[in-house]
Amino acid sequence: MTAEQSARTPNSPQSPGASQPSLTQHPAQPHPAHPTQPAHSTHHGHALVSILGPAFVAAVAYVDPGNVAANITSGARYGYLLVWVLVLANLMSVLIQYQSAKLGIVTGKSLPQILGERMGDAGRYMFFMQAEVIAIATDLAEVIGGAIALRLLFGLPLFWGGCVIGAVSTVLLWFQGGRTHRVFEKIVIAMLLVITFGFIAGLFVDPPNGGDVLAGLVPRFRGADSVLMASSMLGATVMPHAIYLHSTLVNDHYAPGEEKPDTRQLLRGSKIDVVWALALAGTVNLALLVLAANSLYGMSGTDTIEGAQHAIEMVLGPAVGTIFSIGLLASSLSSTSVGTYAGSEIMRGLLHIHAPMWACRVVTLVPALVVLWFSANPTFALVIGQVVLSIGIPFAIIPLMRYTRDRELMGKYRDGMVKHVVFLLVAVLIIALNVVLVYLTMTGQN
């Protein structure tokens, strides 16, 4: 098979988005069902609108309760010191998520599926084990955050709140896949809007000083603890499971048998999808840090989500505190559903096991419930969970970087040298920060 033929290979029958063989055809070729129809005809007049959605689902992973814990803790403890970390992480996430989408669009396969095809049995199982640890750390943050939100809103004990979050998120997953997948996307996007409003409302009540925010763009640290916090923020912003999942979402976006736009249109639309979605997620993350830096800086007890919410009520009023809790609840429900979806795809791609979604839900939910039952400070578990996620990032981005440069896989759509070098620099920066994190952790300097 030539490189160009490889780029045009139809979706694999095992791929979640498998559809008509012509879906990844060369843009210049007419669709078989419409032999005289050009790619820009009225049939695809609303092609861009039809493409949007997958990145917004992936973006939910960037505004989960782990972000709330990491960003509020950072702002309350260090003020605007680490604003630059969030901005840099968000810029990196735009590149990484687009690359994942590009891989899925061109090959018709997910990143875990390609890994599973190219690794030996031992490698597949070892890779799956680290990915499963990442999935558990992800769900830990999301379920705990939701349980805290339910306690703040309704006084529900943490353990039972976690059970409610697990049950409701499982119901949401019934809409995932097939012809109801668009419904799942709309539910998640609606929750993303609730999250946005819930987490930025406080900024309208107590606007920050723009000069102070801009000063936070200067890269610097303040001791070893600030490096640990930066790594936690990075783990909460560049999410490994979102990288694995986005390559699936771009294909699951279309029901089996549904006609897709051509590859060039899909790539162009995906760029817009990713930029809009992650600009929204980045704004939410920045709003959380700025809110804490502006309104909660130096206040005691703000190193926990509950303490931060009570501080917000004291400073900005009970209405803002309630809105914040609602945003936290929406964040938990949407992100834990997306996280379970990612775990299912990782298992399917690496181990070739089509486990029921409820089984994947149970595997990651149980550890979170154990933490809720025994932990005296669940917010601290959230921050540590983000550190674990940060360590897992290289395992996702290094294969992605390699495959999007692979001529056999990508054909004419493979990365050029400039993009490849930029991607390499991003990977080196993330790995270097993680090496520092591991050193600080092992030497007890955190």
Query: Smallest Cα–Cα separation from 344: which of 336, 354, 334?
Result: 354
Query: Smallest Cα–Cα separation from 291: which of 139, 67, 97, 110?
Result: 67
d(CA 41, CA 58): 30
One digit per residue, pLDDT tens: the chain, 446 residues?
A: 444 444 444 444 444 444 443 333 444 333 333 333 344 433 444 566 778 889 998 888 888 887 888 888 899 999 999 999 999 989 999 999 999 999 999 999 999 999 999 999 999 999 999 888 888 888 888 898 899 999 999 999 999 999 999 999 888 888 776 677 778 888 888 998 999 999 988 899 889 999 999 999 999 988 878 887 887 777 667 788 889 999 999 988 887 778 888 899 999 999 999 999 999 999 999 999 999 999 988 887 777 788 888 889 988 999 999 999 999 999 999 888 888 888 888 999 999 888 888 888 888 899 889 988 887 777 677 667 666 777 788 899 999 999 999 999 999 999 999 999 999 998 888 778 777 766 766 676 65
pTM: predicted TM-score of the whole model, two decimal places: 0.82
Query: Smallest Cα–Cα separation from 61: which of 290, 312, 396, 347?
Result: 396
pLDDT score of 151: 93
103, 403 in Cβ contact below 8 A?
yes
pLDDT score of 134: 84
Query: Smallest Cα–Cα separation from 128: which of 241, 256, 35?
Result: 241
pLDDT score of 22: 38
pLDDT score of 46: 52
d(CA 75, CA 88): 16
Q: How many helices (H) and strands (E) does the chain have?
A: 19, 0
- 289: tokens are 């840090």
* Domains present along the chain, CATH in parentheses: 66-442 (1.20.1740.10)
d(CA 355, CA 233): 32
d(CA 380, CA 304): 7
Which residue carries 């993350």 as its tokens?
Answer: 285
d(CA 356, CA 208): 47
Which residue carries 């695809």 as its tokens?
Answer: 44
